[in-house]
Amino acid sequence: MIILDGKKLSKKIEDSVKSDVLVLKEQTGRTPGLAVVLVGNDEASQAYVNMKKKACDRVGFYSITHEMPETISQDAIEQTITMMNDNPNIDGILIQLPLPPQINTNRLLELVSPAKDVDGFHPYNVGRLTTGLDGFVPCTPLGVMELFKEYNIDLKGKNCVVVGASNIVGKPMASLLLNADATVEITHIYTKNLKEHTLKADIILVGVGVINLIKEDMVKDDAIIIDIGINRAPNGKLVGDVDYENVASKCSYITPVPGGVGPMTISMLLANTLKSAKLSKKD
């Protein structure tokens, strides 16, 4: 059993981004810029935004966080996004989700310029991903693909079961796997007898936020397990969606939680922002 070390790989990617930033500054005099919209006081969102800010500092990005009250209006956020779309110093715009109920999230995601959509949520970039064209890909599934690449895991013809059908993880993950010539099945909350599906899988990718959803008897020998879930257990420990203790010994490869997919999400955000900066310098 081999542990897919996202922490180690994310450091390698960060170092590469940092080197590229120095070259970009020398050649153009410009620094890649990332802007984050943070609404309300959700502790998890604030912690995540702080992690992104620290990562930007480490690689030499310019970063700014627009902190807004829980009661903010749709118009006020839209004005801020429009301003960032027009700001040549900003290469990436990220709207921290979830947003309060009075906000139309889809409208905001569509308002972000596709050229600055480093989260890969704009319909334009979703369409390019689905059709196999270059664009911005959501950071978490993109990080998973980088792990496959780093460990030389060939996806061609593999039976992959994606557990969870969210727009942020499940659907783009399925598209990336399809583009890599894997056979893909998506399961979700209404899927009957999940075990029947996962037992056939060469690769199981799960990200639904349910502790111990994937158990030992749901996994065939030598399967590859990608645990994208992150949950706080009753004892305060961070755990994924897989019963790691009992499942790991059956696997050929598995991601730990923490230290697996999580660190990759932030390093892919940096990589996407750098990509946007490089593309904008060509315009």
State yes or no: is 227 an active-site residue: no
Residues 135, 18: Cα–Cα separation, whole Å: 22
State yes or no: is 11 an active-site residue: no
Query: Catalytic residue among 20, 91, 96, 116, which?
Result: 96
Beta pairing partners, 63: 34
State yes or no: is 52 an active-site residue: yes
Query: Catalytic residue among 52, 116, 158, 171, which?
Result: 52
| Amino acid type, 84 | M
Query: Catalytic residue among 119, 202, 227, 241, which?
Result: 119
- Residues serving a catalytic function are 52, 96, 119
